[in-house]
Chain A
């Protein structure tokens, strides 16, 4: 599923980055296939989103997050 489809608290692993996008941009920010990624929260107007990879907080837009294909590995922790 797409990174943009996750909900706060879910932990996932990055599977791939969509072909048509500027892959290097994702890779250089640390969004690399094989990395674990946690969906932290959404900005109040739903966009952008906040994720953490390798303890690093990253903010990206929904549209860009839609290019990151992930697989959930841990369901939501009870986190506010």
Chain B
């Protein structure tokens, strides 16, 4: 059998036209999510086979026209006008929403004029029917000069016919351009002369119109054109406008022959309208929105907790098993405490990521997310963010990591960046055990008015502080981050629909995979480094441990207490222990001593490590950390050497609370920000900014209160 080349297919169309549904129907599980170099939009590719012909499918980002609104939209133009591009298609399937044909056909006509073969997949005919629209498909196909295949992507109808049309497409159809650019503006196009690309005049014009956004390689290909562009900016804009109007005129003509309103009374999806009355209502709209946000938060917090605990247990058991089986050695320790522990800290995020993205996909797919944008835009915009920023922010109350990944749904890069930079200020779940331990040291275990817990109030205060700081930081950042694109807000609110469940599962899987593979590497490296710093010191730690043991063996402690005290002694002689002592002069103005210094250092990887470190330092076992009482006693009775001054005074504790509220102590956040912004610059800026802010705030607070 001869080697038949794979057929390259590209899916193009308006957002919400059902492109992704069709992509799923065509490719099933044979799809994957990848990356376009340099931009943040996901690259979705997949394949299917029909009649022994393999077809590679790429789902290009949805757009309303070839004119890019954002840098990420340029990819469509890039792919479709560059024959040498890896993804340059042999054939385009234009997915059109039959209930909105006029607007959909604008984009179609532009794509068609690029001289690529196109087949229209006419989707959502059921909705068109509800609107009493009757479409003469045969006539439409005649007028548009391309095959038009009716489908229902969601209901899996017409897909076979479409596949058939794809396999048997022929490139022999005479090309009749939709509109003639030369006729539109004869002088300008006359002068262009030999600067045609792919023999498509329209394609050439598009590249001219977007010249400033093209990458340098492309610009070289279009040599000499730069000057033409520079001297004709205003004219090119005008031509764009003229072109679009001209296209609509022709589309109107065509539709007047192919589209009719039937005699049935137009019955727009009343359900969707009714739902909107409530969901965008002044009062109910916000109420329901807060309820949904609360559910999202609960899901992340409570539901994720079960699998998370399970995962933790599995990894801890695995660690212990390794240490039981293999002889104690550096290698064993590296493997068990460094690598396995590191891996555990990565895998434990999967439940939260999966759940958050499941929620997000449902919200987005059902159409509700657009309503959220509508309701929250004004508020969010005041802080430089977008209506869509709300979900990442609420999600950050549980964990910033998946929430920052979710920020990808924000189209404007500046708003997306600001959301990513501000999200970690929300009080995440890792801060909670730290807050609880610290609050327990200074707030009385009392009730106000019989039912309001004082400690609870302080905790609430910390959460409010987080939210206030988030909004303040984003507001400040909005002055510093450049806005490289026009900020506009044209949002389509699609009709409400049942979410596609297979899409939900695919997303959950894909996002988790991305996290583990990308972020995992960074976390693993940091884990191993920390393990090393805590397990070794300039002197042999085992020796130190043994000596200390000899010293205290007669003091009447129990075996487990001795073990704990030995660990504490070892830790303070390790590299990280020494580092903690070294930084004491720096943190003294904040009210901290070297032990707190060590805890600060270890928790730079993850906040909750604070608890474990403090437990070790105060001679308690890790498991005691669960039950705060014993540690609390020890901490409260710890005095500065040679004095009666407590280490954990009110001022110190509050200063510490502030520090943990503002400092960036999460290597996973660091890693995910790097991944989402595709550069080390922003996570480093974030680290520096937050550390600086935490230091200054804690300093001020301590000095004022001491």
Contacts and interface: CB of A to CB of B under 8 A. Distances in A.
B602 to A, nearest CB: 45
Contacts of B492: 29, 56-59
Nearest to B241: A23
Contact of A28 (B244, B276, B374, B486): B244
A59 B244 contact: no
A50 B280 contact: yes
B489 A59 contact: yes
B375 interface: yes
Contacts of A48: 374, 377-378, 489, 491
A66 interface: no
Contact of A24 (B67, B370, B494): B67
A28 B103 contact: yes
Size class of the contact patch on chain B: 35 or more
Contacts of A56: 100, 103, 492
A59 B373 contact: yes
Interface in A5-48: 22-30, 32-33, 41, 43-48
Interface in B464-494: 486, 488-494
Contacts of A28: 64-65, 67, 103, 106-107, 244
Interface residues of A, number: 29
A64 B381 CA distance: 15
B8 interface: no
Interface string B378-409: 11000000000000000000000000000000
Given A25-B490, A27-B248, A44 B286 contact: yes
Interface string A64-80: 10000000000000001
B103 A41 contact: no
A60 B493 contact: no
Contact of B64 (A22, A29, A54, A80): A29
Nearest to A31: B490
B493 A64 contact: no
Interface in B509-542: none
B161 interface: no
B493 A29 contact: no
B155 interface: no
A78 to B, nearest CB: 14
A54 B489 contact: no
Q: Decide if the interface of chain B is mainly helix, strand, loop or mixed.
A: helix
A54 B14 CA distance: 15
Contacts of B99: 55
Nearest to B375: A43
B101 to A, nearest CB: 9
A50 B374 contact: yes
B240 interface: yes
Nearest to B282: A44
Which of B64, B277, B375, B490 has the largest number of chain A CB atoms within 10 A? Answer: B490
Interface string B209-253: 000000000000000000000000000000011001100100000
Contact of B374 (A22, A43, A55): A43
A47 B377 contact: yes
Contacts of A46: 378
Given A44-B282, A54-B103, A55-B99, A60 B489 contact: yes
A25 B491 CA distance: 11
B268 interface: yes
Interface in B336-392: 370, 373-375, 377-379
Contacts of A30: 100, 102-103
A24 B100 CA distance: 18
Contacts of B276: 57
B491 A24 contact: no
Contact of A55 (B106, B248, B268): B268
A58 to B, nearest CB: 6
A58 B377 contact: no
Contact of B244 (A27, A44, A55, A57): A27
B154 interface: no
Given A25-B490, A30-B103, A48-B489, A59 B374 contact: yes
Interface string B244-287: 11001000000000000000000010000000110010100110
A23 to B, nearest CB: 4
Interface of B: 64-65, 67, 69, 99-100, 102-103, 106-107, 131, 240-241, 244-245, 248, 268, 276-277, 280, 282, 285-286, 370, 373-375, 377-379, 486, 488-494
Top 8 nearest A-B pairs (CB, nearest first) are A57-B493, A28-B65, A28-B64, A45-B378, A30-B103, A59-B491, A23-B241, A27-B244
11 contacts: A23-B241, A25-B490, A28-B67, A47-B378, A48-B491, A54-B102, A54-B103, A59-B489, A59-B493, A60-B488, A64-B489
Interface of A: 22-30, 32-33, 41, 43-48, 50, 54-61, 64, 80
Given A43-B375, A50-B280, 14 more contacts: A23-B240, A25-B488, A27-B106, A27-B248, A28-B67, A28-B106, A29-B490, A30-B100, A43-B374, A44-B375, A54-B100, A54-B102, A55-B99, A59-B492
